[in-house]
Amino acid sequence: MLEHMHQKSSICVFGLSCFLILLVTFPKAFSLVHPISVKGNYFLDSVTNEPFYIKGVDYQPGGSSGVSDSVDPLSDPQTCARDILLFQDLGINTIRVYSINPELNHDICMTMLAAAGIYLVLDVNSPSPNQHINRYEPWLTYNLDYLEHVFKVVEQFSYYNNTLGFFAGNEIVNDRVSSKNSPVYIKAVIRDMKSYIEYNSPRQIPVGYSAADDLSYRVSLSDYLECIDEHPNDSVDFYGVNSYQWCGEQTFYTSGYNVLVDDYSSYSRPVFFSEYGCNEVTPRQFEEVQALYSNDMIDVFSGGLIYEFTQEPNNYGLVEIEEETGNVKLKEDYLSLKSQFQQLPELDHLQVNLNMKKNAKEAQNRLKASQYSQPRCSETYQNLDVSKGLPKNIADGLIEAGVQIQRGQYVNLKDSQLKSGYSYTTSNGKPYSIKGSIQRVVDYSSYSSDPLKKVPKDFENCMYDNDLIHDYDEEIITNGNGSSIHILPKLLQTIESWLHKFKKSNT
């Protein structure tokens, strides 16, 4: 509900009366797709405060050539309907898209994803000129043209509730030269994106980085991007690891997953696999899925994204798309992954809850000892050159003025748009049985492209004060005099039910 309230850099606090007025004004609020927020090293549903674990796939049909002036992975409604049917069949809740063209319209595809209950993690870069950082000479590409492209992506996708977060970069540091020249520029892009979101977006949207799983830089780069250099905005909100170390028959220990958990056990922000799924042994069995969502890892890792959905030249695909017809052939990998997801037991909610409380207490202790819950930056980091400091901020003008691009908004979908006209077969050519239409699992509706237009007078800046949430068992609303009102999620549901009955009895 309150994720629709506009936010600048300040936070408005409110009392129970404001809360009830907003419930009456927006009776459908609890059925909306809820934005995901960050609290400590967990992703949370911003309304229910329940932990969110990423269970998804990387999605870039056509690879880098799949983005042009006329098309990208989220611009063709028919293609989206075809693939979202399979996303639901797999049972995933998130996709990652590596590049899009912000000049295109993405409303229908994003509405379809939202209706299906699927979130998006979106990279802001693309292979096109002036749309990415040159890892070897970043000072040549970190310019206003580049930042304008980045901000256009952010501006457009900030208005979809199911935009989980943005990647500021992918594997930019991957060798000695890039580790010398690029780290401070990665941090600068993170700073600029978070500043733009803070000033222009309708809600806080997490910004992170996707890292190559290189032992030379794995820990030091994550530590550098986590730390605060000049301002909290230059610290990542989450960290993605591209990991391909579980190959064939492995265990939590023989794969080295235990080392990964140890490496990030004290990280102050969510960590997840932004790519995983080694293909040295095929067909892939994806046994690592069981480890990733087990008690061995759920306190440190927030799930992951399988690389990748469509078959490309590197042979990681779950499905093959017939070039002429667009029909889909499911590889054995697809069926194996679906089976692994289906076998996942329910998360150990007791353990998660206990560790979330522990995490909150640790964050409070860090705040008592320092101004921020994240660490301050050190002068040096192993195998990285950060001696020059962050490059000069050149984005203030763009941030203040905002960029001109069509803002994303949810649209009304016809039932016919939720159906696929393509055929699905298994690798041996047999028809694959799949539901004929995307199943609407949530109400994706948006009250307005501008969240302020339908906010009751005098409540323009009301929102959750997530920094003051100390107990994950409760929703905490802080009123104007600084005291807190604790409202259990079940009570919220009771209030919604009461409002529904009240409205019905008065019609």
What is the strand order of the sheet 319-321 is part of? 319-321, 328-330, 424-426
Exposure b/e, 108-117, CB count within 10 A at least 16 = b: bbbbbbbbbb
Helix crossing, 218-226 with 257-264: angle to 10°? Answer: 30
Query: In whole angstroms, how far apart are CA 446 and each of 17, 359, 455, 499?
Result: 24, 33, 13, 20
**Adjacent-strand bridge partners of 333:** none
Contact (CB, 8 A) for 270 and 238: yes
What span, in angstroms and rounded, lies between the C-alpha atoms of 311 and 193? 32
In whole angstroms, give the CA distance from residue 52 to residue 330.
Answer: 28
332 is annotated as an active-site residue: no
Judging by beta carbons within 10 Å of its beta carbon (0-12, 13-18, 19+), is residue 9 exposed, middle or buried?
A: exposed
Q: How far apart are CA 320 and CA 333, in angstroms?
A: 11
Q: What is the DSSP string of 347-380?
A: P-HHHHHHHHHHHHHHHHHHHHHSSSSSPBPPS-
Instruction: Tally the C-alpha atoms within 13 A of residue 67's C-alpha that lie toward its C-beta.
Output: 22
171 catalytic per annotation: yes
Beta bridge partners of 440: none
C-beta neighbour count of 272 within 10 angstroms? 25
User: In whole angstroms, what is the distance from residue 27 CA to residue 399 CA?
Assistant: 34
Cα separation, 498 vs 421, in Å, equals 42
Residue (of 135, 154, 319) closest to 221 by Cα position: 135
Active-site residue among 3, 155, 275, 288? 275
CA distance 209 to 274: 9
Which residue among the candidates 50, 148, 171, 320 is catalytic per the annotation? 171
* Amino acid type, 331: K
Token pair of 241 as six digits: 């690891």
Q: Which residues are catalytic?
A: 171, 275
